[in-house]
Amino acid sequence: MNIVLKNGDNLELADGANALEAAQRISEGLARAAVAAKINGRLCDLTAPLAEGDALEIVTVKDPEGLHVYRHTCAHVLAQAIKTVYPTCKLAIGPVIDNGFYYDVDFKTPITMEDFVKIEAEMKKIVKSNLPIERFTLPRKEAIALMSKYRENYKVELIQDLPEGEEISFYKQGAFTDLCRGPHLPSTGKIKAFKLVSIAGAYWRGDEKKKMLTRIYGTAFAKKEEMDEYFQMLEEAKKRDHVKLGKEMKLFALLGEGKGFPFFLPNGMILKNTLIDYWRQIHRREGYVEVQTPIILNRSLWKTSGHWDHYKDNMYTTKIDGEDCAIKPMNCPGGMLVYKTSPHSYKDLPIRMGELGLVHRHEKSGQLHGLMRVRCFTQDDAHIFMLPEQITEEIKSVVRIIDEVYSLFGFKYHVELSTRPDNSMGSDEDWEAATNALKTALDELHLPYTVNEGDGAFYGPKIDFHLEDSIKRTWQCGTIQLDFQMPQRFDLDYVGEDGMKHRPIMIHRVVFGSIERFIGILIEHFAGKFPVWLSPEQVRVLPVTDRAAGYAEELVKLMTANGLRASADLRKEKIGRKILDAELEKVPYKLVIGDKEMENGTVSVRRRGEGDIGVMEKEKFIALLKEENDTKKAF
C-alpha cells in the first residue's frame, strides 16, 4: 500500500503496517524520536494501523502535540505509582495542562508534598522498567465491569456518562490499566525527566457539592536541561510576582471587603491612566470615536444578545423597579444600542467605536488571582461596523494596531485562529464566511497562525494574540472577533448605495484585553522596573543636606511643569539610605544634589541599574527625560 507523507512524498509499505513501521522505513533516528503519529490529521498511537492513501505525519516530542502525549503518559505513570504506594486510593482524571499535568485522586488518608519522594521513587522504577503501553477497547458493559473489578468508581461514572456508541478505550502498562482516549508513548522508558511540583484540593468534576479530591501536579520534559530551565523560570517568576510587587510599589490592594475587586492606589492609577492615555492617542489617530454605555441593563437586552441564555452563570443579576437586570459582563450589547441611536448610510461605514468599559463577571473564589483573574475589570473594547467588502482591510488594520502596541512593550507574540464552538448560534454559511474572512486577512498579512478548533466565541470565530513575556511565559490578551450574529439579533442596518436597507458586519476587538490583567502582565514582564513613560514616579530628587531642600523642591516644580512625575525625598536620612530606598522602589532616575549642584544649577544623575552617570545641567537633564517620556523609549 502507499501512504502520503507530510512533504507530499509517497511511501510504499506492506499491507497492515503501522505508523512506527513507517517511521522506521523513513529513518531509524526518526523512529527513535517518534512518540505518536497524525493519520489524516488525527493524533494516534504509533501502533495505529495504516490504510491505502492515508496522510501520515510522525510526531516527536519537539512538536506541541508530541509533548502533550509525553506528559499524558507521565500522568499515567504517576497514577500507576500512586496505586502501587497507596493501593486503597481511587483514581479520577489525569489530563495534561500548560507546562505539565495533574491527577485527581481520592485517598483514604490525606497525603502531603513530603510524600512525593516515595511516589517519585516508584515512578522512576516504572520508567526504568520500560513497560510497553498497549491500547485496547471494550464494549460499555465490559468496560464498566473492568473498572468495577478494580473498584474505580470514578472511572465507572465517566464510562456511564459517555455517549452511546462512543468507543471506550483503555491503556495497559504492566499490571496497571487506565481508562483513556490516548494516545500515549509506546513505552514508559521514553520518559526522561519529570518532577511532582505541588498539591491542591479539587472537587470531583469541579462541582462544589461533590467530594473534594487531592490534585497532584507534575511536569515532564524531553531533557533534564529543559526541566532545569523551566524551574529557573519559575524561581524568576516568583521574584516578579505582580501581587508582591504591586504591594511593594503601592500600585493596588486586594482587600477582603471586595474579593476579586482590586483597589487601585495613587501610583496604580497613574500607571492605569498612562496606559489609557496611550490607548486614546492611538485610537484617535486611527479614526475611532469613543462612547460609554451603562453598567446595568435589563434582561430584554441580554436575551437579545444571547448572553442571558449562553452566559448567565457568569453574570451578576439584580432587579430594578421589579424588572430583571444584569451588570454587564461585556460591552458589546450596549454598543449595538449606540449604533441604533441614529440612521446610517453606507457612506458612514466603517464606524470604529471604542469603549473603555467596566465589566463584571462572576469567577469562582478559588480561581481569583491578583489582577490576572478578577471579578471586575476594564476592557479596552472597540466595535467596528462595516460593509462586507471592508472586512479584510479592517481586520488587517486592527492587527497592525495590536502589533504596534505589543512591540512598544517588547512583547513577542503568536496568533491562534479559534473556530466554531459547540454552543454557538448562527448558520453554517455565516460561520464559514466569517472564518474564511479571518483566514484571508491573516494570509494577506503573511502572519503565521495555528488553528484552535472549537474555541471561538458563541457568536463568531476569533483571532487571539498570545504574548510572550521577558521570561518566555505566554499570556492571551488581544482578540479580534468577527460577528455576523449580533447585527442580526439587534436588527442593525444601513442604507446602501441602492437605497435599500442592508445588515452591517461587525468586529469586536480588544488590544490590552483587560487593562487590569495587562497591568499585572506588565509588572511581571518588567519586574516592576517600568520604562520612564510608564513609571508612576519617574525621578526622585535626593538632597544631601537640609540646605539643598529648597533647590530640590524647585527642581520638582520645574519637572512637573514639563509634564514629568517627580518627587523630593526630604527625610533626615543619610544619602545612602535615600538612594537605596529609591532603588528598591524602582524609580528610574535619582538626582543627588548638594551645595555644589545648588550653586551651579546642575544635578548628579543616577540611573536605575547603572548607578552614577555623571553631572549635567538641570535643563539638559529635563530635556533628556522629557524626550525619553514623550517618545516612550525603552529603558
d(CA 31, CA 592): 65
- Write the CB contacts of 7 (distance below 8 Å, at least 6 apart in sequence): none
Is 160 labeled as catalytic in the residue annotation? Answer: no
State the catalytic residue, choosing from 104, 381, 464, 483.
381
d(CA 622, CA 538): 11
d(CA 454, CA 424): 10
The runs of H, that is alpha helices, within 265-423 are 266-285, 299-305, 307-310, 332-340, 391-408
Is 6 labeled as catalytic in the residue annotation? Answer: no
State the catalytic residue, choosing from 72, 283, 462, 606.
462
Among the listed residues 526, 528, 530, 532, the one whose alpha carbon sits nearest the alpha carbon of residue 629: 532
Residue type, 114: E
State the catalytic residue, choosing from 242, 307, 361, 590.
361
- Write the CB contacts of 118 (distance below 8 Å, at least 6 apart in sequence): 85
173 grid coordinates: 502498562
The SS3 assignment for 364 reads coil
- Write the CB contacts of 142 (distance below 8 Å, at least 6 apart in sequence): none
- N residues, the chain: 635
Is 381 labeled as catalytic in the residue annotation? Answer: yes
269 grid coordinates: 492609577
d(CA 8, CA 55): 9
Sign of CA dihedral 31, 450, 400, 445: positive
Give DSSP secondary structure letters for 35-93.
Answer: EEEEETTEEE-TT-B--TT-EEEEEETTSHHHHHHHHHHHHHHHHHHHHHH-TT-EE--
Residue type, 271: L
Is 508 labeled as catalytic in the residue annotation? Answer: yes
> Could you say which DSSP state residue 631 is in?
T
State the catalytic residue, choosing from 71, 72, 383, 606.
383
61 grid coordinates: 516530542
Question: What residues form DSSP beta bridges with 194?
Answer: 220
Among the listed residues 229, 238, 234, 232, the one whose alpha carbon sits nearest the alpha carbon of residue 217: 234
Q: Interhelix angle for 618-630 vs 549-561, to 10°?
A: 40
Is 347 labeled as catalytic in the residue annotation? Answer: no
Among the listed residues 356, 222, 167, 377, the one whose alpha carbon sits nearest the alpha carbon of residue 280: 356
The alpha carbon of 278 is separated from its chain's Cα centroid by a whole number of angstroms, namely 23
State the catalytic residue, choosing from 508, 517, 586, 606.
508
Q: Interhelix angle for 153-160 vs 140-149, to 10°?
A: 170
Active site residues: 332, 361, 379, 381, 383, 462, 508
